[in-house]
Protein backbone atom coordinates (compact mmCIF):
# COMPACT_ATOMS: atom_id res chain seq x y z
CA UNK A 1 0.00 0.00 0.00
CA UNK A 2 2.95 2.26 0.48
CA UNK A 3 3.32 2.50 -3.30
CA UNK A 4 -0.02 4.35 -3.62
CA UNK A 5 1.37 7.49 -2.02
CA UNK A 6 2.43 10.39 -4.23
CA UNK A 7 -0.04 9.51 -6.96
CA UNK A 8 -2.80 11.80 -8.15
CA UNK A 9 -6.06 11.06 -6.45
CA UNK A 10 -9.19 10.52 -8.49
CA UNK A 11 -11.15 12.85 -6.18
CA UNK A 12 -8.55 15.57 -6.71
CA UNK A 13 -8.92 15.20 -10.47
CA UNK A 14 -12.68 15.62 -10.26
CA UNK A 15 -12.21 18.57 -7.92
CA UNK A 16 -9.82 20.45 -10.19
CA UNK A 17 -12.06 19.81 -13.21
CA UNK A 18 -15.10 21.19 -11.38
CA UNK A 19 -13.05 24.22 -10.24
CA UNK A 20 -11.77 24.99 -13.74
CA UNK A 21 -15.24 24.67 -15.25
CA UNK A 22 -16.60 27.02 -12.59
CA UNK A 23 -13.87 29.56 -13.26
CA UNK A 24 -14.53 29.52 -17.01
CA UNK A 25 -18.24 29.82 -16.40
CA UNK A 26 -17.78 32.84 -14.14
CA UNK A 27 -15.44 34.55 -16.62
CA UNK A 28 -17.93 34.08 -19.42
CA UNK A 29 -21.05 35.10 -17.57
CA UNK A 30 -20.02 38.20 -15.65
CA UNK A 31 -19.97 40.90 -18.29
CA UNK A 32 -17.17 43.36 -18.17
CA UNK A 33 -15.21 41.64 -15.42
CA UNK A 34 -12.19 40.85 -17.55
CA UNK A 35 -12.78 43.18 -20.47
CA UNK A 36 -10.02 45.67 -21.04
CA UNK A 37 -11.46 49.18 -21.00
CA UNK A 38 -8.71 50.83 -23.01
CA UNK A 39 -10.15 50.08 -26.45
CA UNK A 40 -13.72 51.13 -25.74
CA UNK A 41 -12.96 54.42 -24.05
CA UNK A 42 -12.51 56.50 -27.16
CA UNK A 43 -16.21 56.85 -27.92
CA UNK A 44 -16.86 58.78 -24.71
CA UNK A 45 -14.72 61.54 -26.11
CA UNK A 46 -16.46 61.34 -29.48
CA UNK A 47 -19.84 61.90 -27.82
CA UNK A 48 -18.39 64.77 -25.78
CA UNK A 49 -16.78 66.37 -28.83
CA UNK A 50 -19.93 66.08 -30.93
CA UNK A 51 -22.10 67.64 -28.22
CA UNK A 52 -19.55 70.42 -27.76
CA UNK A 53 -19.49 71.20 -31.48
CA UNK A 54 -23.26 71.31 -31.71
CA UNK A 55 -23.87 73.38 -28.58
CA UNK A 56 -20.98 75.83 -28.53
CA UNK A 57 -20.15 76.37 -32.19
CA UNK A 58 -22.27 78.16 -34.80
CA UNK A 59 -20.72 76.12 -37.64
CA UNK A 60 -18.85 77.39 -40.71
CA UNK A 61 -19.14 77.34 -44.51
CA UNK A 62 -16.81 78.65 -47.15
CA UNK A 63 -16.27 78.72 -50.88
CA UNK A 64 -13.56 80.48 -52.88
CA UNK A 65 -15.03 83.95 -52.32
CA UNK A 66 -17.30 83.95 -49.28
CA UNK A 67 -17.62 82.36 -45.86
CA UNK A 68 -19.57 82.65 -42.64
CA UNK A 69 -21.27 80.82 -39.82
CA UNK A 70 -24.68 80.74 -41.51
CA UNK A 71 -24.11 77.29 -43.03
CA UNK A 72 -27.82 76.57 -42.86
CA UNK A 73 -28.40 78.69 -45.96
CA UNK A 74 -25.25 77.49 -47.76
CA UNK A 75 -25.48 73.75 -47.39
CA UNK A 76 -23.42 73.07 -50.50
CA UNK A 77 -20.22 74.34 -48.87
CA UNK A 78 -20.45 73.27 -45.24
CA UNK A 79 -17.13 72.86 -43.46
CA UNK A 80 -18.47 72.43 -39.94
CA UNK A 81 -21.89 71.92 -38.39
CA UNK A 82 -22.89 73.77 -35.22
CA UNK A 83 -26.20 74.82 -33.75
CA UNK A 84 -25.25 77.81 -31.59
CA UNK A 85 -27.06 81.04 -32.33
CA UNK A 86 -24.81 83.65 -33.91
CA UNK A 87 -25.55 87.32 -34.17
CA UNK A 88 -22.58 88.06 -36.41
CA UNK A 89 -22.19 85.39 -39.14
CA UNK A 90 -19.01 86.95 -40.54
CA UNK A 91 -16.79 86.13 -37.60
CA UNK A 92 -15.97 82.62 -36.53
CA UNK A 93 -16.98 82.77 -32.89
CA UNK A 94 -20.34 83.15 -31.21
CA UNK A 95 -21.12 85.17 -28.12
CA UNK A 96 -24.03 82.94 -27.22
CA UNK A 97 -22.99 79.30 -26.75
CA UNK A 98 -25.74 77.02 -25.36
CA UNK A 99 -28.40 79.03 -27.24
CA UNK A 100 -29.53 76.89 -30.17
CA UNK A 101 -30.78 78.46 -33.38
CA UNK A 102 -34.00 77.08 -34.77
CA UNK A 103 -33.22 77.23 -38.48
CA UNK A 104 -29.88 75.48 -37.89
CA UNK A 105 -31.69 72.67 -36.03
CA UNK A 106 -34.25 72.32 -38.79
CA UNK A 107 -31.56 72.34 -41.47
CA UNK A 108 -29.57 69.69 -39.58
CA UNK A 109 -32.60 67.41 -39.75
CA UNK A 110 -32.69 67.84 -43.53
CA UNK A 111 -29.04 66.90 -44.11
CA UNK A 112 -28.22 63.40 -45.31
CA UNK A 113 -26.36 60.93 -43.16
CA UNK A 114 -23.05 61.14 -45.03
CA UNK A 115 -22.89 64.90 -44.56
CA UNK A 116 -23.62 64.66 -40.84
CA UNK A 117 -21.08 61.87 -40.31
CA UNK A 118 -18.34 63.68 -42.24
CA UNK A 119 -18.91 67.12 -40.77
CA UNK A 120 -19.22 65.98 -37.17
CA UNK A 121 -16.38 63.45 -37.46
CA UNK A 122 -18.51 60.47 -36.46
CA UNK A 123 -16.19 57.84 -37.94
CA UNK A 124 -12.97 56.02 -37.33
CA UNK A 125 -10.21 55.11 -39.78
CA UNK A 126 -9.07 51.54 -39.22
CA UNK A 127 -6.13 50.68 -41.50
CA UNK A 128 -7.39 52.89 -44.31
CA UNK A 129 -11.02 51.83 -44.07
CA UNK A 130 -13.64 54.27 -42.86
CA UNK A 131 -15.94 52.85 -40.23
CA UNK A 132 -18.98 54.97 -39.36
CA UNK A 133 -20.20 55.14 -35.80
CA UNK A 134 -23.87 54.82 -34.99
CA UNK A 135 -25.20 58.09 -33.61
CA UNK A 136 -28.35 59.66 -32.26
CA UNK A 137 -28.88 63.37 -31.58
CA UNK A 138 -32.08 64.39 -29.84
CA UNK A 139 -33.47 67.31 -27.87
CA UNK A 140 -35.84 66.74 -25.00
CA UNK A 141 -37.66 68.96 -22.57
CA UNK A 142 -38.52 67.63 -19.11
CA UNK A 143 -38.10 64.09 -20.41
CA UNK A 144 -40.42 64.53 -23.42
CA UNK A 145 -39.10 64.95 -26.95
CA UNK A 146 -39.06 68.57 -28.09
CA UNK A 147 -41.32 69.40 -31.01
CA UNK A 148 -40.41 72.25 -33.34
CA UNK A 149 -42.79 73.13 -36.13
CA UNK A 150 -44.63 69.84 -35.79
CA UNK A 151 -41.63 67.52 -35.93
CA UNK A 152 -39.78 65.74 -33.15
CA UNK A 153 -36.10 66.67 -33.00
CA UNK A 154 -34.37 63.32 -33.33
CA UNK A 155 -31.53 62.73 -35.78
CA UNK A 156 -29.75 59.45 -36.48
CA UNK A 157 -30.54 55.84 -35.74
CA UNK A 158 -32.43 54.22 -32.90
CA UNK A 159 -29.83 53.27 -30.26
CA UNK A 160 -29.36 49.49 -30.04
CA UNK A 161 -30.53 48.10 -26.73
CA UNK A 162 -27.90 45.42 -26.31
CA UNK A 163 -24.83 47.46 -27.06
CA UNK A 164 -22.66 49.83 -25.05
CA UNK A 165 -23.61 53.35 -25.92
CA UNK A 166 -21.81 56.53 -24.94
CA UNK A 167 -24.00 59.49 -24.32
CA UNK A 168 -23.67 63.03 -23.06
CA UNK A 169 -26.44 65.45 -22.24
CA UNK A 170 -26.11 69.24 -22.45
CA UNK A 171 -28.39 71.82 -20.90
CA UNK A 172 -29.32 74.36 -23.58
CA UNK A 173 -31.82 77.02 -24.55
CA UNK A 174 -33.67 76.16 -27.76
CA UNK A 175 -35.53 78.60 -29.98
CA UNK A 176 -38.95 76.99 -30.28
CA UNK A 177 -41.06 79.77 -31.77
CA UNK A 178 -41.98 83.43 -31.61
CA UNK A 179 -43.55 85.28 -28.74
CA UNK A 180 -44.88 88.80 -28.17
CA UNK A 181 -44.95 90.14 -24.66
CA UNK A 182 -47.25 92.96 -23.52
CA UNK A 183 -47.77 94.49 -20.12
CA UNK A 184 -51.37 95.00 -19.06
CA UNK A 185 -50.97 98.79 -19.29
CA UNK A 186 -50.12 98.60 -22.97
CA UNK A 187 -53.26 96.75 -23.96
CA UNK A 188 -56.16 98.63 -25.41
CA UNK A 189 -59.87 98.27 -25.28
CA UNK A 190 -62.55 99.69 -27.56
CA UNK A 191 -65.17 99.27 -24.96
CA UNK A 192 -64.26 99.26 -21.28
CA UNK A 193 -67.68 98.05 -20.23
CA UNK A 194 -67.34 94.70 -21.98
CA UNK A 195 -63.83 94.35 -20.57
CA UNK A 196 -62.17 92.99 -23.65
CA UNK A 197 -58.73 93.77 -24.97
CA UNK A 198 -57.71 93.69 -28.61
CA UNK A 199 -54.54 92.53 -30.31
CA UNK A 200 -53.93 92.72 -34.05
CA UNK A 201 -52.21 89.84 -35.81
CA UNK A 202 -51.21 90.13 -39.44
CA UNK A 203 -51.06 86.89 -41.42
CA UNK A 204 -49.86 84.66 -42.80
CA UNK A 205 -48.33 83.07 -39.70
CA UNK A 206 -46.11 79.99 -40.00
CA UNK A 207 -45.75 79.38 -36.26
CA UNK A 208 -48.09 79.32 -33.33
CA UNK A 209 -49.01 82.86 -32.33
CA UNK A 210 -47.88 83.18 -28.71
CA UNK A 211 -48.98 86.21 -26.71
CA UNK A 212 -47.83 86.79 -23.17
CA UNK A 213 -49.46 89.38 -20.92
CA UNK A 214 -47.46 90.38 -17.86
CA UNK A 215 -47.67 92.67 -14.84
CA UNK A 216 -51.14 91.79 -13.69
CA UNK A 217 -51.77 93.36 -10.34
CA UNK A 218 -55.41 92.74 -9.56
CA UNK A 219 -56.37 92.37 -5.96
CA UNK A 220 -60.04 91.66 -6.52
CA UNK A 221 -60.78 88.03 -5.84
CA UNK A 222 -63.03 87.43 -8.82
CA UNK A 223 -61.09 88.64 -11.85
CA UNK A 224 -61.36 86.03 -14.55
CA UNK A 225 -60.39 85.37 -18.15
CA UNK A 226 -63.42 84.19 -20.10
CA UNK A 227 -62.76 83.39 -23.72
CA UNK A 228 -60.98 84.52 -26.87
CA UNK A 229 -62.53 85.65 -30.13
CA UNK A 230 -61.08 86.00 -33.61
CA UNK A 231 -62.63 88.76 -35.72
CA UNK A 232 -65.63 88.72 -33.39
CA UNK A 233 -66.27 84.95 -33.44
CA UNK A 234 -65.53 82.66 -30.49
CA UNK A 235 -62.41 80.55 -31.05
CA UNK A 236 -62.88 76.82 -30.51
CA UNK A 237 -60.91 75.47 -27.58
CA UNK A 238 -59.00 73.17 -29.96
CA UNK A 239 -57.41 76.17 -31.58
CA UNK A 240 -55.84 77.87 -28.58
CA UNK A 241 -54.56 77.19 -25.11
CA UNK A 242 -54.13 79.38 -22.04
CA UNK A 243 -51.38 79.14 -19.46
CA UNK A 244 -51.19 81.05 -16.20
CA UNK A 245 -48.33 81.70 -13.85
CA UNK A 246 -48.08 83.22 -10.38
CA UNK A 247 -45.00 84.71 -8.75
CA UNK A 248 -44.04 81.33 -7.36
CA UNK A 249 -45.26 78.81 -9.95
CA UNK A 250 -44.34 77.83 -13.48
CA UNK A 251 -46.80 78.20 -16.34
CA UNK A 252 -49.68 75.75 -15.99
CA UNK A 253 -52.19 74.92 -18.69
CA UNK A 254 -55.67 76.06 -17.69
CA UNK A 255 -57.38 75.70 -21.10
CA UNK A 256 -59.69 72.99 -19.81
CA UNK A 257 -61.10 75.07 -16.95
CA UNK A 258 -62.28 78.32 -18.57
CA UNK A 259 -63.30 80.80 -17.27
CA UNK A 260 -60.16 80.91 -15.22
CA UNK A 261 -59.57 83.00 -12.10
CA UNK A 262 -56.65 85.36 -12.60
CA UNK A 263 -56.36 86.78 -9.10
CA UNK A 264 -52.69 86.81 -8.03
CA UNK A 265 -51.64 85.73 -11.50
CA UNK A 266 -48.46 87.42 -12.68
CA UNK A 267 -48.57 86.36 -16.35
CA UNK A 268 -50.94 84.80 -18.84
CA UNK A 269 -49.73 83.09 -21.99
CA UNK A 270 -51.99 82.42 -24.99
CA UNK A 271 -50.95 80.02 -27.74
CA UNK A 272 -53.06 80.29 -30.90
CA UNK A 273 -52.96 77.80 -33.75
CA UNK A 274 -51.28 79.43 -36.76
CA UNK A 275 -53.84 77.91 -39.17
CA UNK A 276 -56.28 80.61 -38.03
CA UNK A 277 -54.12 83.28 -39.71
CA UNK A 278 -53.65 81.94 -43.25
CA UNK A 279 -53.69 85.02 -45.49
CA UNK A 280 -52.06 88.40 -45.70
CA UNK A 281 -54.70 90.39 -43.82
CA UNK A 282 -54.92 91.80 -40.30
CA UNK A 283 -56.89 89.64 -37.87
CA UNK A 284 -58.02 90.91 -34.49
CA UNK A 285 -57.97 88.79 -31.40
CA UNK A 286 -60.31 89.75 -28.58
CA UNK A 287 -59.60 88.54 -25.05
CA UNK A 288 -62.57 88.82 -22.67
CA UNK A 289 -62.12 89.31 -18.95
CA UNK A 290 -64.38 90.11 -16.01
CA UNK A 291 -63.53 92.54 -13.21
CA UNK A 292 -60.78 93.92 -15.32
CA UNK A 293 -61.62 97.50 -14.33
CA UNK A 294 -58.54 97.98 -12.20
CA UNK A 295 -56.41 97.90 -15.28
CA UNK A 296 -55.53 101.25 -16.77
CA UNK A 297 -56.20 100.33 -20.37
CA UNK A 298 -54.80 102.98 -22.63
CA UNK A 299 -55.97 103.95 -26.07
CA UNK A 300 -58.42 102.46 -28.48
CA UNK A 301 -55.64 101.48 -30.86
CA UNK A 302 -55.02 97.72 -30.67
CA UNK A 303 -51.45 96.59 -30.08
CA UNK A 304 -49.73 94.86 -33.01
CA UNK A 305 -48.47 91.31 -32.48
CA UNK A 306 -46.16 91.40 -35.48
CA UNK A 307 -44.27 94.46 -34.24
CA UNK A 308 -43.43 92.85 -30.94
CA UNK A 309 -42.43 89.29 -31.73
CA UNK A 310 -39.13 88.03 -30.43
CA UNK A 311 -37.66 84.51 -30.47
CA UNK A 312 -38.98 82.30 -27.69
CA UNK A 313 -36.22 80.25 -26.05
CA UNK A 314 -36.97 77.33 -23.78
CA UNK A 315 -34.61 75.29 -21.60
CA UNK A 316 -34.05 71.76 -22.90
CA UNK A 317 -31.45 68.97 -23.03
CA UNK A 318 -29.48 68.07 -26.13
CA UNK A 319 -28.49 64.40 -25.91
CA UNK A 320 -25.80 62.88 -28.13
CA UNK A 321 -25.39 59.10 -28.16
CA UNK A 322 -22.60 57.30 -30.06
CA UNK A 323 -21.92 53.62 -30.50
CA UNK A 324 -19.80 51.29 -32.64
CA UNK B 1 -13.79 -0.02 4.10
CA UNK B 2 -12.34 3.26 5.22
CA UNK B 3 -14.99 5.91 4.63
CA UNK B 4 -13.44 8.82 6.55
CA UNK B 5 -12.04 11.92 4.82
CA UNK B 6 -13.73 11.23 1.50
CA UNK B 7 -15.49 13.77 -0.59
CA UNK B 8 -19.26 13.63 -0.54
CA UNK B 9 -19.44 13.93 -4.29
CA UNK B 10 -23.11 14.56 -4.76
CA UNK B 11 -23.34 17.24 -2.04
CA UNK B 12 -20.24 18.83 -3.50
CA UNK B 13 -21.85 19.23 -6.90
CA UNK B 14 -25.05 20.57 -5.38
CA UNK B 15 -23.09 23.12 -3.34
CA UNK B 16 -21.10 24.21 -6.40
CA UNK B 17 -24.37 24.63 -8.29
CA UNK B 18 -25.85 26.79 -5.51
CA UNK B 19 -22.74 29.01 -5.41
CA UNK B 20 -22.84 29.44 -9.19
CA UNK B 21 -26.50 30.38 -9.14
CA UNK B 22 -25.83 33.00 -6.46
CA UNK B 23 -22.90 34.50 -8.37
CA UNK B 24 -25.00 34.72 -11.53
CA UNK B 25 -27.94 36.23 -9.69
CA UNK B 26 -25.75 38.89 -8.11
CA UNK B 27 -23.86 39.66 -11.29
CA UNK B 28 -27.03 40.06 -13.34
CA UNK B 29 -28.77 42.31 -10.85
CA UNK B 30 -25.85 44.59 -10.14
CA UNK B 31 -24.68 47.37 -12.37
CA UNK B 32 -20.96 47.00 -12.62
CA UNK B 33 -19.41 50.44 -12.81
CA UNK B 34 -16.00 50.34 -14.35
CA UNK B 35 -13.63 53.26 -13.72
CA UNK B 36 -14.01 54.38 -17.36
CA UNK B 37 -17.71 54.88 -16.87
CA UNK B 38 -17.16 56.86 -13.68
CA UNK B 39 -14.87 59.27 -15.51
CA UNK B 40 -17.59 59.79 -18.11
CA UNK B 41 -20.10 60.53 -15.35
CA UNK B 42 -17.77 63.10 -13.79
CA UNK B 43 -17.37 64.85 -17.15
CA UNK B 44 -21.15 64.84 -17.62
CA UNK B 45 -21.74 66.28 -14.15
CA UNK B 46 -19.16 69.03 -14.56
CA UNK B 47 -20.52 69.92 -17.99
CA UNK B 48 -24.04 70.15 -16.59
CA UNK B 49 -22.84 72.58 -13.89
CA UNK B 50 -21.12 74.79 -16.50
CA UNK B 51 -24.18 74.66 -18.78
CA UNK B 52 -26.63 75.59 -16.02
CA UNK B 53 -24.65 78.69 -15.02
CA UNK B 54 -24.28 79.64 -18.67
CA UNK B 55 -27.98 79.21 -19.42
CA UNK B 56 -28.95 81.24 -16.34
CA UNK B 57 -26.65 84.03 -17.45
CA UNK B 58 -27.71 84.29 -21.11
CA UNK B 59 -31.42 83.47 -20.83
CA UNK B 60 -33.51 86.07 -22.70
CA UNK B 61 -37.00 87.25 -21.73
CA UNK B 62 -39.70 84.58 -21.33
CA UNK B 63 -37.22 81.69 -21.37
CA UNK B 64 -37.15 80.85 -17.68
CA UNK B 65 -39.65 81.05 -14.84
CA UNK B 66 -38.38 84.38 -13.56
CA UNK B 67 -37.30 87.08 -15.95
CA UNK B 68 -33.95 87.52 -14.23
CA UNK B 69 -30.43 86.81 -15.40
CA UNK B 70 -27.61 85.68 -13.14
CA UNK B 71 -26.34 89.22 -12.53
CA UNK B 72 -29.79 90.32 -11.40
CA UNK B 73 -30.10 87.33 -9.09
CA UNK B 74 -26.75 88.14 -7.51
CA UNK B 75 -27.52 91.85 -7.29
CA UNK B 76 -30.77 91.04 -5.48
CA UNK B 77 -28.92 89.08 -2.81
CA UNK B 78 -29.44 90.77 0.53
CA UNK B 79 -26.16 90.59 2.42
CA UNK B 80 -27.77 91.31 5.75
CA UNK B 81 -30.10 88.33 5.61
CA UNK B 82 -29.14 85.20 7.50
CA UNK B 83 -27.51 82.58 5.33
CA UNK B 84 -27.89 79.93 3.98
CA UNK B 85 -31.34 79.43 2.34
CA UNK B 86 -31.59 83.12 1.80
CA UNK B 87 -35.06 84.44 1.10
CA UNK B 88 -33.90 86.90 -1.52
CA UNK B 89 -32.36 84.03 -3.53
CA UNK B 90 -35.48 81.85 -3.69
CA UNK B 91 -35.92 82.64 -7.40
CA UNK B 92 -32.33 81.56 -8.15
CA UNK B 93 -32.87 78.38 -6.13
CA UNK B 94 -36.05 77.63 -8.09
CA UNK B 95 -34.40 78.25 -11.47
CA UNK B 96 -31.44 75.99 -10.69
CA UNK B 97 -33.65 73.20 -9.41
CA UNK B 98 -35.85 73.52 -12.55
CA UNK B 99 -32.77 73.04 -14.71
CA UNK B 100 -31.04 70.32 -12.67
CA UNK B 101 -33.99 68.05 -11.93
CA UNK B 102 -32.98 65.52 -9.27
CA UNK B 103 -29.31 66.48 -9.09
CA UNK B 104 -28.37 68.05 -5.74
CA UNK B 105 -26.49 71.31 -5.51
CA UNK B 106 -25.07 74.07 -3.34
CA UNK B 107 -24.32 77.62 -4.38
CA UNK B 108 -21.54 79.81 -2.96
CA UNK B 109 -20.89 83.48 -3.62
CA UNK B 110 -17.21 84.27 -3.34
CA UNK B 111 -16.03 87.88 -3.36
CA UNK B 112 -13.30 90.11 -2.06
CA UNK B 113 -14.06 92.22 0.97
CA UNK B 114 -17.32 92.28 2.86
CA UNK B 115 -19.66 93.50 0.14
CA UNK B 116 -18.98 97.17 0.80
CA UNK B 117 -16.59 98.57 -1.74
CA UNK B 118 -15.77 102.25 -1.44
CA UNK B 119 -12.59 104.06 -2.34
CA UNK B 120 -11.24 103.71 1.18
CA UNK B 121 -11.96 100.08 1.82
CA UNK B 122 -10.93 98.40 -1.40
CA UNK B 123 -10.06 94.77 -0.89
CA UNK B 124 -8.06 94.52 2.24
CA UNK B 125 -7.19 91.00 1.18
CA UNK B 126 -10.05 89.15 2.81
CA UNK B 127 -12.14 86.83 0.69
CA UNK B 128 -15.69 86.15 1.75
CA UNK B 129 -17.33 82.85 0.86
CA UNK B 130 -21.07 82.90 1.49
CA UNK B 131 -22.86 79.56 1.34
CA UNK B 132 -26.04 81.08 0.02
CA UNK B 133 -27.97 77.99 -1.10
CA UNK B 134 -27.41 74.67 0.65
CA UNK B 135 -29.05 71.33 -0.02
CA UNK B 136 -26.67 69.13 1.94
CA UNK B 137 -23.05 68.16 2.23
CA UNK B 138 -21.37 67.47 -1.12
CA UNK B 139 -20.15 63.89 -1.54
CA UNK B 140 -16.72 62.81 -2.71
CA UNK B 141 -17.56 62.83 -6.43
CA UNK B 142 -19.02 66.34 -6.49
CA UNK B 143 -18.20 68.73 -9.30
CA UNK B 144 -18.12 72.49 -9.33
CA UNK B 145 -18.32 75.24 -11.91
CA UNK B 146 -17.89 78.98 -11.58
CA UNK B 147 -19.07 82.05 -13.36
CA UNK B 148 -17.94 85.58 -12.64
CA UNK B 149 -20.45 88.39 -12.33
CA UNK B 150 -19.56 92.05 -12.25
CA UNK B 151 -21.70 94.41 -10.19
CA UNK B 152 -21.64 98.17 -10.62
CA UNK B 153 -23.03 100.99 -8.59
CA UNK B 154 -26.22 100.94 -10.68
CA UNK B 155 -26.72 97.15 -10.56
CA UNK B 156 -25.59 96.87 -6.98
CA UNK B 157 -28.90 96.35 -5.16
CA UNK B 158 -28.07 95.95 -1.49
CA UNK B 159 -24.39 95.66 -2.32
CA UNK B 160 -22.80 98.90 -1.28
CA UNK B 161 -20.63 99.82 -4.26
CA UNK B 162 -19.42 103.35 -4.85
CA UNK B 163 -19.88 104.90 -8.29
CA UNK B 164 -16.30 104.42 -9.51
CA UNK B 165 -15.83 100.85 -8.34
CA UNK B 166 -16.94 97.40 -9.37
CA UNK B 167 -17.47 94.25 -7.37
CA UNK B 168 -16.69 90.91 -8.99
CA UNK B 169 -18.60 87.99 -7.53
CA UNK B 170 -17.78 84.38 -8.30
CA UNK B 171 -20.93 82.29 -8.42
CA UNK B 172 -19.83 78.76 -7.58
CA UNK B 173 -22.22 75.90 -8.27
CA UNK B 174 -21.36 72.60 -6.60
CA UNK B 175 -23.38 69.63 -7.82
CA UNK B 176 -23.47 65.93 -7.02
CA UNK B 177 -25.57 62.93 -7.76
CA UNK B 178 -26.68 60.22 -5.36
Enter the ipTM.
0.76
From A100-104, A224-228, A311-315, the region with the lowest mean pLDDT: A224-228
pLDDT-derived band at A35 (thresholds 50, 70, 90) equals low
Beta strand residue intervals within B54-154, DSSP E? 104-112, 116-117, 127-133, 143-151
Asked whether the beta carbons of residue A11 and residue B40 sit closer than 8 angstroms, the reply is no
Least confident of A8-22, A30-44, B96-110: A30-44
* Best-predicted range by mean pLDDT (A21-25, A27-31, A213-217, B145-149): B145-149
> Rounded to a whole number, what is the distance in Å from the CA of B120 to chain A's nearest CA?
36
A23 — pLDDT class (breaks 50, 70, 90):
confident
Q: How far apart are CA B72 and CA A247, in angstroms?
A: 16
The predicted pLDDT at position B87 comes to 66
Asked if A99 is an interface residue toward chain B (Cβ–Cβ < 8 A), one would say yes
pLDDT, position B5: 58
**pLDDT value of residue A63:** 87
Name which of A284, A299, A319 is nearest A211 in CA terms: A284
3-state secondary structure of B16: helix
> CA angle B122-B57-B109, nearest 5°?
40
Confidence of residue A190 (pLDDT cuts 50, 70, 90): low
Tell me how long chain B is: 178
**Which residue among A11, A30, A40 sits closest to B27, beta carbon to beta carbon?**
A30
Model confidence at B171: pLDDT above 90: yes
Using the predicted structure, report yes or no on whether residue A31 has a pLDDT greater than 70: no
Look at residue A38 in the predicted model and tell me its pLDDT.
Answer: 46
Nearest CB to A313 within list B6, B20, B60: B60
Residue B167 banded pLDDT, cuts 50, 70, 90: confident
Closest CA to A198 of A188, A206, A213: A188
Q: HEC states along A194-234?
A: HCEEEEEEECCCCCCEEEEEECCCCCCCCCEEEEEEECCEE
Q: Do B98 and A312 count as a contact with CB atoms less than 8 A apart? A: no
Per the model's pLDDT, the better-predicted residue between A12 and B148 turns out to be B148
Mean pLDDT of A18-24: 87
pLDDT at A131: 87
Average pLDDT across chain A, whole number: 82
- Alpha helices by DSSP H, listed for A77-201, are 102-110, 113-120
Nearest chain A residue (CA) to B46: A170
Which residue is closest to B90 within chain A, CA to CA? A248
Global pTM reads 0.77
Amino acid sequence: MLRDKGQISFDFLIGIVVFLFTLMFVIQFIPGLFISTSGEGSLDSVAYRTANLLVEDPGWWENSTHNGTNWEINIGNISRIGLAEDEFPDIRRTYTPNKLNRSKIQQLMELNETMIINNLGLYDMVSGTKINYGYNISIDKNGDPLIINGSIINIGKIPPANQDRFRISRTVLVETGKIAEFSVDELSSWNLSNESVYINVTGPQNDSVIIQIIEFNFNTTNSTFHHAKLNGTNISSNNYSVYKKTNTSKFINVSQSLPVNITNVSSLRFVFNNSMFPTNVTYWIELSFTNFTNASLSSAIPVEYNNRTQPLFEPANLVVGVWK
Amino acid sequence: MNETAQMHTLEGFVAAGVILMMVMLISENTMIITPQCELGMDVQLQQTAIDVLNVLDIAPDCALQFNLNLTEHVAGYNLSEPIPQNNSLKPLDTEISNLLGDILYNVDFVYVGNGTITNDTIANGTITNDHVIMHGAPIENSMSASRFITLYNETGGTWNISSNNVQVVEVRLIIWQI
